A and B are shown apart, each in its own frame.
Chain A
Amino acid sequence: MKVTIKVNGNPVAAEVADRTLLVHFVREVANLTATNVGCDSTSCGACTVLLDGRSVKSCTVLAAQADGCEVTTVEGLADGSGEMHPVQTAFHAEHGLQCGFCTPGMVMAAVSLLDENPSPTEEEVRTALEGNLCRCTGYHNIVRAVLAAAPATSERRSA
């Protein structure tokens, strides 16, 4: 079937098998490979993207279900001038990534978290990231990064 999905602001139209997962649409059709597949049980969150502004696990969404919708991946986070989103900047400053495989999904989950809860406590951050697994960092610096990014993220939203 034919689907048209706006990915990071660009409409991507393609004829795809009905069973195509959104994550594969993003990776193979839209050719954005930052978003990764880390499991097959909707557990790990590596595939997290924003669908119409809300975080979803794109491995458990059919491309067909996202037809006509907007998807944002980590490649689309930087602003028009190429400046990193505060969450990306904070992950860098706080060493919130090591091998990088979980990172795109983690960053998108963090962006969505801050969107819904602009001033979270540490406990709220940890609970909100319950669906995102990381094997390298022990989460310590990821949590610091999200907390550090919160004020600048709020500002960016109101700007």
Chain B
Amino acid sequence: MSILGTRVVRTEDPRLLTAGGTYVDDLRLPELSDAARVTFVRSPMAHAKITGMDTDAARQAPGVLAVLTVRDMDDLTPPPPPDPDAEIIEGAPMPIGGLWSEPLLAVDRVRYVGEPVAMVITSDSYQGEDAAELVSVDYEPLPAVIGIGTALRTDTLLFPDTESNVPVTSGEATDDAIFDGCDAVAEATIVNQRLAPMPMEGRAAAARFEDGKLTYWASTQNAQISRFILAGVLGMDPGTIRVITPDVGGGFGAKVGIDRDAILVAWAARKTGRALRWVETRSENLVGMTHGRAQEQTVKIGGTSDGRVLAYRLDVVQDTGAYPRMSGFLPFLTKLMAVGPYDIANVQTKSRVVVTNTTPISAYRGAGRPEATAAVERAMDLFAAEIGLDPGEVRRKNLIPSDKFPYTTPTGATYDTGDYVTALDKALEGAGYAELRAEQQRRRERGDVLQLGIGLSSYVEITAADAAAGETARLAVHGDGTATVYTGSSAHGQGHHTAWAMLVQSELGIPMADVTVIHGDTDLIPEGIGTYGSRSLQLGGVAVHKAALDVKEQARKVAADMLEAAETDLELDADSGTWQVRGDPGTRRGWAEVATHAGEDGLVAYVQFSGGGATFPFGSHVAVVEVDTETGKVRLIRHVTVDDAGTVVNPVLAEGQRHGGIAQGVAQALLEEMIYDADGNPLTGTLADYAAITADVLPSFELVQSETPTDINPLGVKGIGEAGTIGATPAVQNAVVDAVSHLGVRHIDMPTTPSRVWAAIDDATQNGEAR
């Protein structure tokens, strides 16, 4: 009886619950016992030239060991001069040293509030805050470019050597002919608002240089990639750098690799010869860590009066903040997934990326795919409203049928497996859709103040989009019968240690308690990619599975030798973890004996597994909200989901990922937004103002089970980490609009805060559009 698919609580928890995790700020290692503290001086201006800097007062403050500015960076190779002809490839990183390049410390201008300008090194963090205040920087303000509209229209260029604020343009979406022959057409401009990833642990790093070697601790999702980045920037051989990932308090895509602030910590450690530690504050995190989303979308959808969608256009403008760190990658994914789970014959997509004087944008749970789903799900509801059909019915009519897989979309994505109609049906049934509509109708007829809204979303998303990059696993079975897994994956809450141990136990019969999982140390795991894009189980986990198979075959040979039998006569009982000659229980041997017989190193297998391709989890969500039509306040009362990510290895972990994903998805629909004023000052710069979602505004979620395995990997698994977020946001947004559609409201942008909802109601009823 395999342990896979059973509910197993986490092996990570006892330590986390009793002693607490060891995050960067908790490290109490001898190597950091004399570590000094880094405090950054950050720009308070959104856009300005730096005309002067005075560090004298800071240098003399108590506890200050050094004050570092760009002038001290004479030990780094300057980037190559910008090549105006360098091509920007949408899906690839920006060319190094290009026209849009981002410095480490600001050089002669700042482009967003929070941009690092100088570094203060002190004995303790309290002194650091005091000293940072004493660094005096002269700024000559430049006009702030805030908002996509301004970025497109203004004469002010963030990068004066370029011709516009638009680093990337891709696709054409102007041919209206695709909408000819449509009985009904609906259009809308939609905002997918800027969010703060806000992991509970902000950014943090520590560094120590000794004898030409760098040891670097980072709160990152990728130790190996971080090492690569450090080697490149610092001009070092990667073999002289060791990156260690301690416990990481959440990442959500914003801790992929390491960013300029974190790189500077390593540079400063080399420059000063001191071990250093940096732990940002929450206020710094809200402007210094990359933001997510921030798209404006223009959608147009057309089809027949009986609900068949014939044409869909998506025009995306991505606000990428002050520096285009992700180039065109996020809107590239948005366009790739534009049609969602629907069979739409004619699709046009276009994207532009603009720079603004705001925090740079990067991946945030879903990274480009929540945006795609939110757009097409709004469009489906608008289309349904246009033709007067139930939104569930319209979806059902357009979902890709289950006999059409693999299915290649007009946008070039090939969906592996799926059963979208069943997912929708299960979600509707789980929600009791018919009764909800009846209750909604009753309340409408009574004219209740509290109206019910039911919102749907059907989604498909792409996981392991970089499957070719694969993942590594090394599995060692030791002479004492225990095992160690070295994984290239990099958990920051996902429970890989539990799941990878389950995979070993399932295949080899070594009990989970005897399996140690190690990640995130480049000395022990020099090759690996890390955890993002919901790739880990299907790449890292499958690598572990394959390593176990490899160990099994090695063990078979060793056991045959030990027992002087033919290999083909050896069998492993995975339940008891014992080898024997078939039919002869007297020959039973455990892993300890077999591994000992194998030699000093026991049994070791190393797998570098390149995935066959991306996989496509899918599902449907039903959100039920209550809207107070007098105040605009929205209450989410139920949220029902189907999130199908193929085979479930551990339902406990899968559910946890769904819950967390759903909550962040709901957060975007209802509450969260990073807001800047016209001068580029963040108005949501602390957690008192940035409305991170709390327990009191969420219900318990209703998860419906569904497992449609993929045929892309032997475990049949897809990625679950981001699916909940992708499905949840549009269901809730649609529910809010649905709650007041009878009053004439057709769209409300996110977040659907009380004032926004009330303004929509007020607007619609004033215009007398109530039906």
Contact = CB atoms under 8 A, between A and B. Distances in A.
Contacts of A19: 126
B729 interface: no
A38 interface: yes
Interface in A77-106: 77-78, 84, 88, 91-93, 95, 97-104
Given A129-B696, A138-B698, A101 B250 contact: yes
B663 A91 contact: no
B652 A135 contact: no
Interface in A103-135: 103-104, 107, 122, 125-127, 129-130, 132-135
Contacts of A36: 20, 23, 25, 200-201, 249
A41 B13 contact: no
A71 interface: no
Given A74-B20, A88-B18, A126-B696, A100 B688 contact: no
Contacts of B200: 36, 38, 44, 46, 99, 101-102, 133-136
Given A33-B22, A99-B492, A41 B686 contact: yes
Interface residues of B, number: 54
Contacts of B12: 100
B16 interface: yes
Interface string A16-45: 010110000001000101111111111110
Contacts of B656: 95, 98, 136-137, 141
Interface string B18-41: 111111011010000000000000
A140 B666 CA distance: 13
B495 interface: yes
B199 A135 contact: yes
B147 to A, nearest CB: 26
Contacts of B9: 92-93, 95
B612 to A, nearest CB: 29
A126 B698 contact: yes
Given A99-B199, A99-B201, A100-B12, A84 B17 contact: yes
A139 B698 contact: yes
Contacts of A41: 282-283, 686-688
Interface string A60-82: 00000000000000110110000
A52 B484 CA distance: 44
A142 interface: yes
Nearest to B689: A41
Given A19-B126, A100-B12, A133 B694 contact: yes
A143 B700 contact: yes
A97 B17 contact: yes
Contacts of A141: 655-656, 659
A51 B25 CA distance: 23
A94 to B, nearest CB: 8
Interface SS majority for chain A: loop
Choose among B22, B199, B200 the residue with the greatest number of A CB atoms under 10 Å from its CB.
B200
A84 B18 contact: yes
Contacts of B22: 33
Contacts of A40: 281-283, 686
Interface string B658-682: 0111111000000000000000000
B461 interface: no
A97 B686 contact: no
B139 interface: no
Choose among B10, B23, B686, B695 the residue with the greatest number of A CB atoms under 10 Å from its CB.
B695
Contacts of A91: 13, 17
Contacts of B69: none
B493 interface: yes
A111 B16 CA distance: 16
B660 A135 contact: yes
Interface SS majority for chain B: loop
A135 B18 contact: no
Interface in B709-728: 724
Nearest to B666: A138
Interface string B176-207: 00000000000000000000001111000000
B252 interface: yes
A99 B26 contact: no
Contacts of A144: 700
B692 interface: yes
Nearest to B698: A139
B653 interface: yes
A95 B8 CA distance: 10
A4 B126 CA distance: 21
A41 B662 CA distance: 26
Nearest to B286: A39
A126 B252 CA distance: 24
Interface string B624-658: 00000000000000000000000000001101100
B248 A130 contact: no
A140 B636 CA distance: 14
A150 to B, nearest CB: 16
A132 B23 contact: no
B16 A130 contact: no
Contacts of A42: 688
B407 interface: no
Contact of B686 (A34, A43, A104, A133): A43
Nearest to A43: B687
Contact of B659 (A101, A104, A140): A140
A135 B664 contact: yes
A46 B279 CA distance: 15
A30 B354 CA distance: 49
A124 to B, nearest CB: 10
Contacts of A43: 686-688, 692
Contacts of B724: 138
Contacts of B252: 135
Interface string B111-142: 00000000000000010000000000000000
Contact of B701 (A37, A103, A138): A138
B381 interface: no
Given A39-B686, A132-B695, A92 B17 contact: yes
A127 B198 CA distance: 22
Nearest to B686: A41
B126 A97 contact: no
Contacts of B694: 129-130, 133, 139
B14 interface: yes
B319 interface: no
B169 interface: no
B494 interface: yes
B662 A138 contact: yes
A144 B21 CA distance: 22
Given A100-B17, A130-B694, A138-B701, 19 more contacts: A20-B126, A33-B22, A36-B23, A37-B25, A41-B686, A44-B200, A95-B9, A95-B10, A98-B495, A98-B656, A99-B199, A101-B247, A103-B21, A125-B695, A127-B695, A135-B199, A138-B662, A138-B663, A138-B698
15 contacts: A17-B126, A33-B20, A36-B201, A41-B283, A75-B18, A95-B10, A98-B250, A100-B17, A101-B199, A126-B695, A126-B698, A133-B692, A135-B250, A140-B700, A143-B700
Interface of A: 17, 19-20, 27, 31, 33-44, 46, 74-75, 77-78, 84, 88, 91-93, 95, 97-104, 107, 122, 125-127, 129-130, 132-144
A-B interface, 9 closest residue pairs, ranked by CB to CB distance from nearest? A34-B20, A101-B249, A138-B663, A99-B493, A98-B493, A138-B659, A43-B687, A100-B16, A33-B26
